[in-house]
Chain A
Amino acid sequence: MLDLIPLCALGATTPQEFRQGALTLTEMPETGLVSLTLQRGAARPALDLPEPGFWAAGAGHAAFWTGPGQWFIELPGRAQEDPIPFLAPQAPGCSLTEQTDGWVLFELQSSQGAEAIEAFLEHAVNLDLCKMGPGRATRSVIEHMGVYLLRRSDDRLAIWGMRSAAESLWHALTTLARRQSARG
């Protein structure tokens, strides 16, 4: 048997971290991701599934809305296991598909509160900042790459992007942070 070495999405054996000014960007390889889709006519499961444009934290997971009748479920610490057995009993009658290996998660932390996160968003995406407060989650485009943006709190933003474009997205995000720092 080959002895394979597990790599993070950015190609190293350990997750990357980038600091510039008030912002710290961190690769988060330990969070699993599952899509949940309601089947036609099925009852909504007991999971806390947020309304369009929002995310919500549950027990051991967080969910964000991705489309009508569809959510993504984040599972911190469960990226290296099959997440379906954990989730399936909580979501009877729903279609669950593992998504972990298709996506990469970066977390952007600000040491200067909401201001640095909002300045970052202003330059990164064409979204109404009034609708990007804590609790909000939406899909949009950064440098032509589709991303999900989750405002975890005033000073924290999560960015889910395509795993196959992880380095391009990392480059775009770190460049934005550098420019923001240069503007002062």
Chain B
Amino acid sequence: MLIPHPLLGLRDAQEFTYLGDASLIDRPEGSDEAALADYVYLRDNPAGLHRELWFHEQGDRSWLVVTRNTLTHEIVSAELARDVALARKEGVA
């Protein structure tokens, strides 16, 4: 499997490690224990497009948000997680 790194182009998946659902970026703030429990334990398990976090461990050590089709393994897009998080922060502000 090849992952289209936004800075380096297509790279072999063996250079990456997989973390999981990209919603892990949205850690709830404050002391809402129920929200934190949902954040830690609850995941969607979609058959289809899935946004997930990949770490380019044997590469430039950046975190990517990869949109992958779990039925076909087709990778639709890959963005730097930093850009995704910053864009979201600006959207909230």
Contact = CB atoms under 8 A, between A and B. Distances in A.
B74 interface: no
A41 B75 CA distance: 33
Nearest to A138: B8
B9 A128 contact: yes
Nearest to A52: B7
- Counting chain A residues whose Cβ lies within 8 A of the other chain, the interface size class is 10 to 19
Contacts, number: 40
Contact of A141 (B8, B14, B60, B82): B14
A30 B2 CA distance: 37
Contacts of B7: 52-53, 68
A67 B61 contact: yes
B59 interface: yes
B9 A131 contact: yes
Interface string B2-28: 000001111110110000000000000
10 contacts: A53-B7, A66-B60, A67-B61, A67-B62, A68-B60, A68-B80, A126-B15, A127-B12, A131-B9, A140-B12
